[in-house]
Structure formats: structure tokens, C-alpha cells
Structure 1
């Protein structure tokens, strides 16, 4: 028989796999994923795992660890399917969920609290969204998060294995996106911990922690130092450009991340409540301050994107769990008025969401026939079941509200993601209407273009050269709307292939041969 903790892990694994598999196939490749996939493909083409490239040019803007994982997945699976290539980030996310459970269980010795931490994280909208995309962000932030939890365990139990894990996670975080995760998650944790607990808690451990961080920094710097000595001028230009990007692009005001409540999904009201309720116990304060300081740190940086807010979604899973476990163990009549109001609001909010989703899938699934009747019927049964459970009085009021809150997020993703993406997100086309002609993919002739998106390099399956001078090759492709008149003195058009670009607009691929 499974122990209780093993049962929890099995449930969390099942929920995690379901959460990601429900959405991992939905989204089309965006520019960030395309860059990673192209670099991974070129690693295998060149057999050079150390010096990464993008469309044949050096790619030093991001460290290589996520690209190595994508390339390894290609190598093992013999597949370039985007769904398959998203598996590594899905596994990293699932590992984060399980590690969070094991860590918080060791910290608090409370199985229910540990389960709720992981349950809330895996049912958080933004975590599911980013975990289903193969970008650098999920790695750098989750590894920094795990490094912070390992440091907490070291402070509590003093075991060297936790210090070693902290160092390993920091190395992986640095190798995923430089110091971003270290800055936005790890440093805020150190500040919150040292601000909350007395010196006795950390006595004799500081020097070992500093040494472990230095070791992590040295090991993670090997790749960057190697690139500097091999390609110093280009590498420094990239660093200068990246520094400029972080201060000039995607700049927003300091309040940009305050809508993170919305991206908590079904936990929106819980996240608002805990943000304005400072815990009294130090063991709870440390996680509260961790969230607040992380929010301040990421808000200070000028460059902001919604996915850069992932640190506060990770830490909020713990602060919300602290409230949730309190609800689990407190009789409803003993709750304060404000605490009762939160549960009532949450119940009606979740009921409204389920009813809204039911109307949505009935209209698009049944009336508009976007999905099969069998699938629509399954969704219908699940929605009705959830509405029944949320009003099933034999289950503790707070428990059923909290559990259904998380499961509702999974239900919405499972039942509506494809329709939402298909109808409203991608020009009413989830998949490309016109596939890339197989003759183009198999043809070894190079492709030239005046204007192309980097995603095209991934979609076509080969490098695209920038058209500057008259090519020397006997046969070439040219990607563009009109015939390349400047080439027609030297080349003749053999064939014209229709091609659908990433933005779904139609253009042409001209196959030319020298006269």
C-alpha cells in the first residue's frame, strides 16, 4: 500500500500531467520557442553542442541549457514535433511541483499544507501557461525557486545535501537565462529569511552558503567565459545589445505586475486576500515577505513582460496554501466574518465561471460544432458534476470550495483552450491551412529572402539567408510576395510554391535556376 505522502505525490503527478497535456498541443510556435528549436536543430546538424547558433549566426543572447534539452529531445525522439519538444519544460514544471511538496513537507512537517502548496501551483493559470511553452523563463525561475527552497531546508536541518542541491539549481538557473532567476527569486528569499529570523537560525552557516553560491557562479560562468575567449568582440556586442534591450524595450511602469491576481486564474480572490493580510508567525511571514520583495524586485526593472512575473506566482502558491490549510482545519462557525465572506465570494465566483464555461462550450461545441458531440458530452458531464460537488454539503464547506477552485482551472483549460485559441487568438486558424510543400523541405537548395520572421526558419526546416548580393548557387529558393526582379537577369523561375507565413498571410516561394 502507498503511504499518505506517496498517495499525495501520485495525485499531484496525475494532476500535473493532465494540466499540461491539456494545453501543450494548443499553442502555435512563437518567436521565443522558434529561436530555441532552431538552435537545437542546428546543434544536431553541426554536432557542435557548445557554440549555439541561430539561423547560422552565433546565438549568445541566452545561455544554452534549455537549447541543450531541446536538442537532446530531438536526438532521443527523432522528432521535431513542437509537442514533443515541449516535454522538457513540462517535466521541469512537474519536477517543481513535486519538489515543492517534498520541501514544504520537510519544512512544516504538515502533509496537507505541502499538498495544498503544490496543488495551488499546478492549478495556477500562469504556471500552466508558461510550463506548456518551450522558453527559457520556466527554467531560470523554477530552478531559482528550487534553490531557495533548498536553502531554506539547509537553514532548518543543516544537511549538506540541501546546500549541494541549492548550488546545482543555481547553476541550472544561471545556465538557463543568466542571473534573472537569481535576482528575482533567490535574492528576495535571502532578504526575507534574514529579515524574519534571528541570527541564531543562521549561525555558522553563512560562510558555507556564500561558498556554495560562489561555486555555482563559477561553474555556470564556464560557458560564457569560453564564448568570450573564442568570440570576444561578437560576445561583447551581444552583451551590450542585451543590456540596451532590458532598458529600452517592453518598458512599463512600476504597477505593471499588479494584475497578477488575474493570472492566478481561479485563485484570484485568495491571492488578493493574502497580499493584504500579514501573517503573525515568523514561519509564515518569511513566505509573505518573499512574495512582496519579489514583486518589488521585478517591478523595479524597466523591461517587463507578463511571463517575467512568474516568481510571484511560484511564491504565492505557498502563501495561499497557508490560508487554505487554515480553512481546512477551522470550523466554519469559528471563522472571522472576512474569512467567511472570502469563501462565499469564491463559491459564487467559481459557480459563475463553470456556468459561463458551460454556455461557452455549448455554443461553440454543440451549436457551432467546433468539437465532436462525444467530446462536448464529456465536457457537459464534467461541468454538471462540478456544479453538483460545489453544493454537496456532506463535504466540508471550505474544503470543497478550495479543491473545486483548483480543479475548475484544469476543467476550463481542458474544455476551452482549443476553442479559445482557434476562435480568438490566432486569426481563426489554430493550425496552418497550407502546409509547407514536401518538395521544399527535401530540396537542398538554399532559401533567400529580403523579409522573413525567424519562425519561418523553424517552419520551413532550413536556414534562410538574408538576400544582399546575387547568390552563387545554381538553384535557389526566394521567399517573397513578388518575383525577385533583381535576380531574373541571372536566374529563371522554375516553380512557384504557395506558402503560408507565421502571421497566416499567404506569400510565395520561388524556385529559381541559373540561366
Structure 2
């Protein structure tokens, strides 16, 4: 498939538009999103832009930049619209993917076609897709950091625009900190610096000292101003939250050092090429730019090692690793495009056939699988999506097999990209058929009804971000960090999480609890692993007994 180089940036952007923007409102808000969206809603309703809150309680665990962006989008399109609150994530992920293309072509001096492969690999990596469609902080931190690295690379490697590069590098490195603290500095920037110093080495520092100081000052200023504002404006609360976060990093979700050994599987559909791309003895004589390959390989492995040192480990923490990993994998894809038709060694050929054949098989079986499991739940619009998905999947399966026979890996590669976009645009709506909770019941309308009748309504405790999001607004809280705040009313309503009912009754001595109803905010059934008991809020009428 011959595509002119001038169209490569458009292909990158188009792929991002298809991957990150459609159907942003299908998935309901998870716990991390709920924290972000609650805080964004209160920014708009109560002007808590600096001293951020969640249902009136201080929420200082994460810097506010991604929440500001969600709030701005919510102000324009509607603060209760999930797609609006997730839109900034989709935009910043597109920026990340586009700059990964520019980084390959302008900084690593790779051929434009390989730069395109790398950008498409970034875009279609599993956790990049997940984070790019999810309204949390991670993707902002790593996207801004990649932009910072893009300009930092230029600052280190050339004498052109030293001050401009230093200012922009400092700006984006600072914005990364404003998105999720030092996470990306440790997981993306530090591995980059290790790899750069080892492979390229920094040019003479002549003329760079002063602009480098400017870079540091800008990065430090952006990174520290919010923490200083909290420290001087709400010292005790900020210190308490900081201690709690530090404890969590050391004690929660602790895993052994080797937990991330299978990190390449987080690239999803590219697991096999990503693994082979890491085999330096095999690939070192097959790449066109050995130094650039060594750089991306060391960048990737350094990131994995550094993340492995931290006691707290989660699969999603590997997101920053996927950026250099995709660039590293592009060397293997480029090699296959150039040389696959000439390869005779079965050890080289069979993994390629296996990888693309598995994808072709998945495409061929996807629609029969949907029909078998969910045909009774299909509605009118889902039949439209199904028809488009069926035609697209058949095309993918046939085209991959056809090009494997012809040994045309480039066309097979682009077909996999198309298949990934097809899954999002036409396959993603089928998630709705898994929303089978017949007990689902919204809590927000009941709160509106009670307030219209001038009935006081309280939330027992701020422990479930999803439940708070489902409330639709801020409610006064009875149980806070300082203890129970008994209301002046002798009769009132209180919303208690299902698991806290007995605890609330024990704590609030001198009150009778009369259950009115329980509202299940889960749209999936109890059999689904995504079902969360903390989304069930029980409404009680509470009367003082003395």
C-alpha cells in the first residue's frame, strides 16, 4: 500500500479520532474517574479551583490540571455528560501520539514510514487506548512529559533554538507534574535521561548553562506552586493527605520485583512483535539505525526496572513504558516490511504468521461470538453496528490472510490498525448488552424530590466516589475526619453505603434508622466482576430517640 509521506500526519490524527473519540459515554465512571469528575463538578459549582474538594471534603491527593481541563469541558458541553468530561483525555492522547510521530522523525532521525509505524503502535497499544478514553490523570502526565522530552532532546542535541527548547521543555515537564506529581518524571523522564546519556551523550555544555537554569526554574515553579498554596492555605489537611499517600505507595498493592516481567503484554494486540523487538541479539543486525534502536530499547528497559523498584505495583502503571516500547517495536515492523518476502528461516517466519493469523481468526470469529452470546439483546441501532462490524471483520480476516500469502507485511500491519479502529467504532457499542442489572435504580432523582419537599438529606460518609458521583450534587456529610457531625434536625434522611449500614447504626447512638429503599447504581449484574457494592446507597429516615 503506497501512501505519500505528506499524508502520514493525517493518518496519525485520523487513527486517533477513530480510537479515542467515539462512544466516550458508554462506560460508566470508574472509581478513579468518579474522584476526578466529582472534583471537577465542585470546581464549577463552588469555585474550588485551588483547594479542590470532593463532596465538600478536601481532595488534595492529585494535582488539579486534568480536573481543570475536565471542568472546562464540562462547563462548555455539560458537567454531567461523561463524554464531555472524558474529552480532554482523548485530545491529550491524540497530542501524545502525534508527538511520538514527530519524535521519531525529527529527534531520532528515523524514516517517515517507520515513524508512522511507531505512532500507530503507540495509538493502538491496549493501555494507551484505555487511558485515552478514560477521564483520569495518567495520560495527561505522560503526554505532557513526552512533549517535554521532545524539546529536551532538541536542547541536548543541537545548538538551534536553545532558549525556546529549554522554555518549552520546562513548561511541559512542569505541566506533567501538575497532572500527577512526579510519577512521569520517574517512569518516563528518568529512563529517557539514562538512555540518552548512555547512547547519545550530551554535547558540550557551552552556552547551555543559562537556558538550562531557565528550564529548571520553569519546571520547579509549575511543579511546586500548588503544593505551596496548599501548605500555606490548609497546612494540617495537606500534611495529613501527603502522609496517607506516602503510606499507600509503600504498603498498598505491594508486589514482588519481577511482577512486571510480562510488561510487553500490555501492548495488547502487539504483544508478539513487542517481545521480538526486545530481542537485541536478534534485531541489532537487522535495523537501519542501530543507535536509535539501542536508545529506545534502553529507554524501555530502564522504565521497567525503575517501576519494578517501587513496592506498589499495578498493571496500569506500565502505561509510560508503552511509549518507548512502541517506538522500539517499530524497528521490528520496519524490518519485516523491508525483508519479510526474502526470509526463509522458519524461526523468523513462523512468529509473524502466528501473530497475524491469530488476529485474522479473532476478526473472523468476533461477530459469530457476539451473535451467540447476545443476539436476544440486540436492538435496532445495534443491528446497524453489527452489520458494519460483520462486513469490516470479514474484510480484516480476508485481507490479512491474503497479504500473508503475498508476504506483504505492510498491508497486514495497516489492516490490524483498521481492525483496532473498527472494534472501537462499531464493536464498542455492544458493551451496552452487558448492562443487565434489573435492580439498577438512580438515586439522584430521589434526592431532588426530597429537597423539593424541604427534607434534609445527608450522606453518611465520603467513602464511595462512585456513589457521590451518582448523587448528582454535593450533600452534607455526617462522618468526617474529625468524627460525627450530628445535624440540628431531629428527623432527617441519610444515605448509607450498603456495607456501612450496621456501622452507621452503631456509631449514631440515640437515633432510629428506618429503611426507605436501597438504590443500586451498578448497571452490570452481581455476576459481573465490575459490580461494586459501594455503588449501592440505602436511604434511611433517621429520627432522634431522646
TM (norm. structure 2) is: 0.84
Which residue number corresponds to residue 96 of structure 1? 96
After TM superposition, the structure 1 = structure 2 runs for residues 253-332 of structure 1, keeping only pairs within 5 Å, are 253-277=256-280, 279=284, 281-330=290-339, 332=341
Q: Distance in 2 between matches of 1:346 and 1:131?
A: 25
Residue 534 of structure 2 is aligned to residue 496 of structure 1: no
Q: Distance in 1 between matches of 2:276 and 2:432?
A: 31
- The alpha-carbon distance between structure 1 residues 328 and 348, as it changes in their structure 2 partners (threshold 3 A), is same
State the secondary structure of the residue aligned to 1:433.
Answer: coil
Counterpart among 219, 223, 233 of residue 236 in structure 2: 233
Q: Any conservation in 2 of the 1:106–1:153 contact (CA below 8 Å)?
A: no
Which residue number corresponds to residue 155 of structure 2? 154
Q: Distance in 2 between matches of 1:421 and 1:259?
A: 31
Q: Distance in 1 between matches of 2:50 and 2:449?
A: 28
Q: CA offsets, 1:394-426, max 9 Å, x none?
A: 976111222223333333444554545754xx7
Which residue number corresponds to residue 403 of structure 1? 414
Which residue number corresponds to residue 138 of structure 1? 139
Counterpart among 445, 463, 478 of residue 475 in structure 2: 463
Counterpart among 413, 434, 439 of residue 441 in structure 2: 434
Q: Any conservation in 2 of the 1:357–1:416 contact (CA below 8 Å)?
A: no
Residue 18 of structure 2 is aligned to residue 15 of structure 1: no
Shift of 1:290: 0.3
- The alpha-carbon distance between structure 1 residues 488 and 189, as it changes in their structure 2 partners (threshold 3 A), is closer
Q: Any conservation in 2 of the 1:492–1:514 contact (CA below 8 Å)?
A: no
Q: Any conservation in 1 of the 2:440–2:521 contact (CA below 8 Å)?
A: no
Moved more, 504-513 or 355-364: 504-513
Which residue number corresponds to residue 509 of structure 1? 539
Q: CA offsets, 1:367-403, max 9 Å, x none?
A: 6647733322221111111112113349761112222
Which residue number corresponds to residue 166 of structure 2? 163
Structure 2 unpaired stretches of 5+? 523-531
State the secondary structure of the residue aligned to 2:261.
Answer: helix
Which residue number corresponds to residue 115 of structure 1? 116
Q: Any conservation in 1 of the 2:171–2:222 contact (CA below 8 Å)?
A: no
- The alpha-carbon distance between structure 1 residues 460 and 379, as it changes in their structure 2 partners (threshold 3 A), is same
Q: CA offsets, 1:264-305, max 9 Å, x none?
A: 111010111011225362122111100010011111111111
Aligned residues: 508
Residue 499 of structure 2 is aligned to residue 479 of structure 1: no
Which residue number corresponds to residue 60 of structure 2? 60
State the secondary structure of the residue aligned to 2:393.
Answer: helix
Shift of 1:41: 1.3
State the secondary structure of the residue aligned to 1:510.
Answer: strand
Q: Any conservation in 1 of the 2:178–2:222 contact (CA below 8 Å)?
A: no
- The alpha-carbon distance between structure 1 residues 374 and 415, as it changes in their structure 2 partners (threshold 3 A), is closer
Moved more, 261-270 or 467-476: 467-476
Q: Any conservation in 2 of the 1:146–1:166 contact (CA below 8 Å)?
A: yes
Moved more, 411-420 or 25-34: 411-420
Q: Any conservation in 2 of the 1:346–1:401 contact (CA below 8 Å)?
A: no
- The alpha-carbon distance between structure 1 residues 385 and 204, as it changes in their structure 2 partners (threshold 3 A), is same
Shift of 1:365: 4.4
Q: Distance in 2 between matches of 1:368 and 1:77?
A: 31
Shift of 1:196: 0.6
Q: Any conservation in 2 of the 1:124–1:264 contact (CA below 8 Å)?
A: yes
Q: Any conservation in 2 of the 1:448–1:466 contact (CA below 8 Å)?
A: yes
State the secondary structure of the residue aligned to 1:496.
Answer: strand
Shift of 1:209: 3.6
Q: CA offsets, 1:324-350, max 9 Å, x none?
A: 122223351157654323322222221
- The alpha-carbon distance between structure 1 residues 344 and 448, as it changes in their structure 2 partners (threshold 3 A), is closer
Moved more, 53-62 or 177-186: 53-62
Shift of 1:241: 1.4
- The alpha-carbon distance between structure 1 residues 452 and 170, as it changes in their structure 2 partners (threshold 3 A), is closer
Structure 1 unpaired stretches of 5+? none
Residue 138 of structure 2 is aligned to residue 127 of structure 1: no
- The alpha-carbon distance between structure 1 residues 339 and 367, as it changes in their structure 2 partners (threshold 3 A), is farther
Q: CA RMSD in A?
A: 3.1
Which residue number corresponds to residue 363 of structure 1? 372
Which residue number corresponds to residue 360 of structure 2? 351
Q: Any conservation in 2 of the 1:437–1:497 contact (CA below 8 Å)?
A: no
- The alpha-carbon distance between structure 1 residues 350 and 217, as it changes in their structure 2 partners (threshold 3 A), is same
After TM superposition, the structure 1 = structure 2 runs for residues 208-219 of structure 1, keeping only pairs within 5 Å, are 208-209=211-212, 211-219=214-222
Shift of 1:193: 0.5
Moved more, 13-22 or 306-315: 13-22
Q: Distance in 2 between matches of 1:469 and 1:129?
A: 40
Which residue number corresponds to residue 189 of structure 2? 186
State the secondary structure of the residue aligned to 1:392.
Answer: helix
Q: Any conservation in 2 of the 1:103–1:150 contact (CA below 8 Å)?
A: no
Residue 125 of structure 2 is aligned to residue 106 of structure 1: no
Q: Distance in 2 between matches of 1:217 and 1:374?
A: 52
Q: Distance in 2 between matches of 1:82 and 1:112?
A: 36
Moved more, 437-446 or 246-255: 437-446
